[in-house]
Amino acid sequence: MLPRTLELNAWTSEKRCRAAVAALAKKRFTALYCATPQEAADYILQQAATARTVGFGGSLSVADLKLAATLAEQGKELLNHGLPDLTPEQKRETMCRQLTCDLFLTGTNALTLDGCLVNIDGIGNRVAAMIYGPAKVIVVAGRNKLVDGDLAAALRRVKEFAAPPNAMRLAKQTPCATTGFCCDCDSPQRICRVITVIDSRPSLSDLHVLVVNADMGL
What confidence score (pLDDT) does residue 184 get?
Answer: 87
CATH code for the domain in which residue 84 is found: 3.40.50.10420
Average pLDDT over residues 99-123: 98
Indicate the pairing of strand 103-107 with strand 136-142.
Answer: parallel
At 61, is the secondary structure helix, strand, or coil?
helix
Distance CA 162, CA 82 (A): 18
Contact predicate 117/209, CB 8 Å = yes
Q: Residue 162: inside a domain, yes or no? A: no
Q: Residue 25: inside a domain, yes or no? A: yes
Q: Which residues on adjacent β-strands are paired with residue 111?
A: 117, 146
pLDDT range class, residue 165, cuts 50, 70, 90: very high
Contact predicate 99/50, CB 8 Å = no
Average pLDDT over residues 55-76: 98
What confidence score (pLDDT) does residue 7 get?
Answer: 86
Full-model pTM: 0.96
Q: Residue 125: inside a domain, yes or no? A: yes
Q: DSSP class of residue 43? A: H
Mean pLDDT of the chain: 96
What confidence score (pLDDT) does residue 21 get?
Answer: 98
What confidence score (pLDDT) does residue 6 get?
Answer: 85
Distance CA 179, CA 113 (A): 30
Q: Residue 136: inside a domain, yes or no? A: yes
**Could you tell me what percent of the chain has a pLDDT over 70?**
99
Contact predicate 76/48, CB 8 Å = yes
Contact predicate 125/95, CB 8 Å = yes
Q: Residue 40: inside a domain, yes or no? A: yes
Task: Give the long-range contacts of residues 181-189, CB within 8 A, separation 24 or more.
Answer: 184/159
Contact predicate 58/52, CB 8 Å = no
Domain count for the chain = 1
Q: Residue 128: inside a domain, yes or no? A: yes
Q: Which domain holds residue 40?
A: 4-145+194-212
pLDDT range class, residue 3, cuts 50, 70, 90: confident
Q: Residue 178: inside a domain, yes or no? A: no
Q: Residue 201: inside a domain, yes or no? A: yes
